[in-house]
Structure 1
C-alpha cells in the first residue's frame, strides 16, 4: 500500500483554499481542539478584561493585554497563575496608540507593542519592568505592530495581521523586513528554542499554531486549531508556548485560558 504524507505546504494550501473559496472542510477534517495536542485544563480568570490580545506567563503570574476601544485605552493585566485572581493592571496607552498586541516576557522585562488601531500606522514597543510595570524603554515603529517576540539580541515584530515581520535591534534600528511565508494572520508570536512560533487565523473558524526555524523561516510544524464551546477559534488571539505546553486565550470574557499539551 502506498502511503502519501501531507506536507506542511499542502496543509497550508488547503487552508488558504478554504478561506479564499469559502469552502467547508469535511467533518473528518474538522479539528475539535488543537491538532496533535490534548487539553490539560481550562482556567477562568477572575477580573474584567476588554478585547483580549496577547498572553504570557511565568511560574507565578499570567499576564494579558486587552484593548477598550470605546474608551481608547489599552491595558496589561496581571493575574495569579494558581488561583486566577486579578492582581493589578497598567494603562499602556500612548495617545492615538492604544491598541496593545501579542507580547513577550524576556528575563525581567515585558515587551508590549502599542499601536494605532488601524493598519499602516504607527506603534511604540514598550519594555516594562516585570516587577514594577514601569516603562524602561520605548522604541518607535513606523507601522502598526500587533505582536512581538524577543530573541537574544533583537525583537521580531509583526505588523497588521503579521503580513510583514520587522527584525529590530535593541537600539531601535530596523535590521530586516520579511514577508511572512504564510497566509496565517498571526496575532501572538513567541521565540522559543531558536524557533519563531505564531498563532493566528485563516478564517473565523480555521487557523493554526506554526513553528519556523529562525532566521531562515523554514516551516517546521503546523497544528490546526478548532473552536471553543463558544465558537471562538482557539488560536484567534493570545498564544504562548512553554516547552510542550501551549496556552491559548481566545475569548474576551469571562476570560478563559486553555492549556494544551502538545504531542512530542
Structure 2
C-alpha cells in the first residue's frame, strides 16, 4: 500500500518542497550540533517555556506520531485507526492483542497548517508509523503492527520527489527511527522504547540493548551532533480516588554510541485538551539563539504548538 495522494495544489508546491530542501538551514542540526547539545543541557524542570505560536492544522491528523522539519515545511507521520486492536485474555500466537486495521500516513504541511501532501505508507497489518527523522537527504519512517513484539517495515522518503522506498523489514515493533548522519547506521527504539536497536542500511541488527531508563517512553527522536534528543510520555496513576491517569512528558539527550542518557528533564506543558506537549510528535530546533519546541499533542483536530525556552 504505497500510494501517493496529492492535493490539487501539488503542482504549485513541488517547487516549494525543492526550495525548502535546498535551504542551508536544513542541515542546522548537524552543523551546530555541539552548540545544540550544550544549549539542551542548560534546560531543566525550572526552565520557563513561552508559547510563541499555535497553528491550527487544516486537515484530520488522526493519531500523530513523529515530526521533522525541512526548511519551512513540516513532515508528520500518523496512524488512521479503522479498527482498534483488542487485547486478548490470554496471549495468542505470541501476540497480546489483535492486529486491528488502519492506514499509515506521512503528512506534509506548511507554516499555516495547510496540507500539501499525504503519502500512504504500510502494508497489511503494518500500518502504524512511528517517530521519524531527517538525515540531511532522506526522511526515515518505521511502519509497524499496532502491537508489541510484532514486525515493521522501514522506509526512507525523498523530500524532493516525495517518493518512498522500502529499505528492509524487521521482526519487532519499531516505534521510532533515525539515521546517524547521512551514511551512518540507523538507531531505533521498540514499542515503549524498552529496547534499543542499531541496524545497518540492509536491516542487519548491529546491536540490541535494553533501555535502562523508565522515566518516559520515547516517541520521537532527532539527531543532535554526536547525541540524539528523544521526546516521550508515560502515564501515571494519580491516586485511588481519581481514575484518570497523569501524563508525564519529557525530553532526553542520549549518546548515539552508548545510548546512555546525557541529560533529561520533565516537560510541564499541556494542550487545550489536557495532553502533555510531548505525547505525540515533537521537533526541537536550535536557531537564531533560540531553542524552540514544536509539538502536536492532540489527535484528529490538532494544533501545532510552538514554544521557546527562556
Q: TM-score, normalised by structure 2?
A: 0.70
Q: For residue 217 of structure 1, report the CA deviation from its aligned partner.
A: 3.0
Summarize the alignment of residues 1-264 of structure 1 with structure 2, pairs less than 5 Å apart: 35-70=47-82, 72-81=102-111, 83-152=112-181, 153-183=184-214, 184-203=216-235, 204-226=246-268, 227-243=270-286, 244-263=291-310
Cα deviation digits, residues 18-37 of structure 1 (max 9, x gap): xxxxxxxxxxxxx8xx9443
Q: C-alpha distance in 1, partners of 2:173/2:258? A: 24
Q: For residue 257 of structure 1, report the CA deviation from its aligned partner.
A: 1.3
Q: C-alpha distance in 2, partners of 1:214/1:106? A: 14
Q: Which runs of 5 or more residues in structure 1 are unaligned?
A: 1-30
Give the number of equivalent residue pairs. Answer: 230
> Would you say the 8 A contact 1:35–1:224 is kept in 2?
no
> Would you say the 8 A contact 1:101–1:113 is kept in 2?
yes
Q: For residue 109 of structure 1, report the CA deviation from its aligned partner.
A: 1.1
Q: C-alpha distance in 2, partners of 1:103/1:176? A: 20
Q: C-alpha distance in 2, partners of 1:38/1:116? A: 37
Aligned-CA RMSD value: 1.8
> Would you say the 8 A contact 1:208–1:224 is kept in 2?
yes
Q: For residue 48 of structure 1, report the CA deviation from its aligned partner.
A: 1.6
What SS class does the counterpart of residue 172 from structure 2 fall into? coil
Q: For residue 61 of structure 1, report the CA deviation from its aligned partner.
A: 0.8
**Which sits farther off after the overlay, 154-163 or 222-231?**
222-231
Q: For residue 207 of structure 1, report the CA deviation from its aligned partner.
A: 2.1
> Would you say the 8 A contact 2:227–2:256 is kept in 1?
yes
Q: C-alpha distance in 2, partners of 1:148/1:105? A: 10
Q: Which runs of 5 or more residues in structure 2 are unaligned?
A: 1-44, 83-100, 236-245
Q: For residue 198 of structure 1, report the CA deviation from its aligned partner.
A: 1.0
Q: For residue 60 of structure 1, report the CA deviation from its aligned partner.
A: 2.2
1:11 corresponding residue in structure 2: none
What SS class does the counterpart of residue 132 from structure 1 fall into? coil
Higher strand proportion (structure 1 or 2): 2
